[in-house]
Amino acid sequence: MSEYLRLCKSLEYLVERYGPIVERLRFVMFVYLVDLEWSRLHDGKPYTEARYQRWNRIVATSAPSLIWCADGNPVHSRIAYAAGWLYGVRLPARGMADLPLTFADQNWKKPDRQRYMTALARHRPSLATVLDWEWEVQ
């Protein structure tokens, strides 16, 4: 936590001053623009410890992302997504929400590699887990 002390303080200040900012990207852009202006006035050094990356004409930060991963609960998934969380499920899923899928997990107790790979090909998430081998039969 101490590694991102100024970033945390900046986020805390923004929420206290302006209330909750629902869209994650908008929140990141807000911090980025403040950092950009600060760096113009202070020898090119940003105020926070955030490291920004340009991606598809969007500025992103290397701060952690929050992923809501709940298979079979589309109502709660939509609420989490509206609050700025990324969407994840365990594939193959029982009841997915109609949201962009960012993260795919799998059943590690009863893995079905073929069904998992088919679901990955169908949904094309940005991130997916890889099964750990715990027994020789796997």
pLDDT tens figures, 61-74: 556 678 888 777 88
Q: What is the pLDDT of residues 6-18, one digit of tens each?
A: 777 777 777 777 6
Q: What is the pLDDT of residues 80-127, one digit of tens each?
A: 888 878 889 998 888 888 888 888 998 888 888 899 999 999 988 888
Secondary structure of the chain in HEC code, one letter for each residue = CHHHHHHHHHHHHHHHHHCCCCCHHHHHHHHHHHHHHHHHHCCCCCCCCCCEEEECCEEEECCCCCEEECCCCHHHHHHHHHCCCEEEEECCCCCCCCCCEEEEECCCCCCCHHHHHHHHHHHCCCEECCCCCCCCCC
Has this prediction a pTM greater than 0.75? no
